[in-house]
């Protein structure tokens, strides 16, 4: 009987030990699970959990780079737009007005004859100028000794007249040289054309004044408007 009681007490002791061991194991397991769950709920765990998600930062970086690229391209486009007008201005080419070509009313043989006429008249007028200037110089030097005051006055008047005629003759020489350039180079326009009307001058007028740059119509316009020949001449 005593042995049986000892065995039952040993069994009950072992059973209670096993039960307490299981209970303690279950409680420790539950405590570890709760501790893990609590640790997952802490702010650090939340932050660490969110860190792997890099989609937001990637989007921010991509948007920033895209904005920088867009702003850079916009600035470049703006600069190009500002430089386009300058290049357009440089591309503009200003063309000079077309030069009008006038036809001479005379052929080559006729021009040669007119050239000889002009040269002959030039030589005659040059001799006249030399004589007039010589007379004016002699009157000024007192080579003539007038005995009366009236004669002295007449000599002074003669000197003025001589010098005035010599000046007019020099103007004719200038017009003759200009007419010769028209024959030789057709500059500023062919010989025989009126520089006012651009029409042909009549032969009768050229025979009287072969160096004239104006037709009767041009000369009439000059006189009516109180102009001089130089006002109606073409630019050389």
Segment 108-120, tens digit of pLDDT: 999 999 999 999 9
Does the CA dihedral 216-220-226-231 come out positive or negative? negative
Q: Name the phi and psi angles at 108, rounded to 5.
A: -65, -40
Question: 188: cis peptide before it, omega within 30°?
Answer: yes
Q: Identify whether the C-beta of residue 188 lies closer than 8 Å to the C-beta of residue 163.
A: no
Q: Identify whether the C-beta of residue 166 lies closer than 8 Å to the C-beta of residue 126.
A: no
Angle in degrees, CA 101, 105, 110, rounded to 5:
125
Segment 132-164, tens digit of pLDDT: 888 888 876 665 555 544 555 566 777 888 888
Segment 51-96, tens digit of pLDDT: 444 454 545 444 555 554 555 555 655 555 555 454 445 555 666 6
Going from the N-terminus, what domains does the chain have, and what CATH number goes with each?
Answer: 108-232 (1.20.120.910)
Can you give the pLDDT at residue 136? 83
Query: Distance (Å, rounded) from C-alpha 182 to C-alpha 192?
Result: 9
Q: What single DSSP character describes residue 103?
A: -
Segment 26-50, tens digit of pLDDT: 555 565 545 554 555 544 444 444 4
Q: Identify which of 171, 169, 172, 163 has the alpha carbon closest to the alpha carbon of residue 132.
A: 163
Burial of 76 (0-12, 13-18, 19+ CB in 10 A): exposed
pTM value is: 0.54
Residue 208 has pLDDT above 70, yes or no: yes
CA-to-CA separations, 83 to 63, 74, 147, 198, 228, in angstroms, rounded: 30, 14, 89, 48, 53
Q: CB neighbours of 135 closer than 8 A, spacing ≥ 6?
A: 158, 159, 162
Burial of 193 (0-12, 13-18, 19+ CB in 10 A): buried
Per-residue buried b or exposed e for 202-231, using 16+ beta carbons within 10 Å of the residue's own CB = eeeebeeebbbbbbeebbebbeeeeeebee
Inter-axis angle of helices 108-141 and 149-185, nearest 10: 160
Q: How many CB atoms lie within 10 A of CB 165?
A: 16
Residue 204 has pLDDT above 90, yes or no: yes
Query: Distance (Å, rounded) from C-alpha 138 to C-alpha 145?
Result: 11
Q: Both tokens of residue 180?
A: 């010769």
């Amino acid at each position: 009987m005593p042995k049986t009681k000892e065995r039952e007490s040993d069994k009950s002791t072992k059973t209670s030990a096993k039960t307490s061991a299981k209970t303690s194991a279950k409680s420790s397991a539950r405590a570890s699970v709760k501790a893990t769950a609590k640790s997952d709920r802490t702010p650090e765990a939340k932050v660490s959990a969110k860190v792997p998600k890099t989609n937001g930062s990637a989007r921010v970086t991509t948007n920033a780079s895209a904005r920088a690229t867009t702003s850079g391209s916009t600035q470049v486009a703006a600069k190009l737009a500002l430089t386009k007008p300058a290049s357009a201005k440089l591309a503009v080419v200003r063309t000079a007005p077309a030069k009008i070509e006038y036809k001479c009313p005379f052929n080559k043989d006729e021009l040669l004859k007119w050239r000889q006429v002009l040269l002959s008249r030039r030589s005659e007028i040059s001799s006249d100028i030399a004589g007039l200037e010589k007379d004016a110089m002699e009157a000024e030097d007192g080579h003539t000794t007038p005995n009366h005051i009236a004669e002295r006055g007449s000599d002074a008047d003669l000197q003025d007249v001589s010098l005035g005629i010599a000046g007019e003759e020099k103007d004719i020489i200038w017009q003759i040289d200009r007419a010769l350039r028209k024959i030789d180079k057709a500059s500023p326009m062919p010989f025989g054309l009126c520089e006012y009307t651009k029409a042909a001058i009549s032969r009768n007028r050229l025979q009287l004044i072969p160096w004239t740059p104006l037709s009767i119509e041009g000369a009439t316009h000059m006189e009516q408007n109180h102009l001089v020949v130089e006002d109606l001449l073409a630019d050389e």
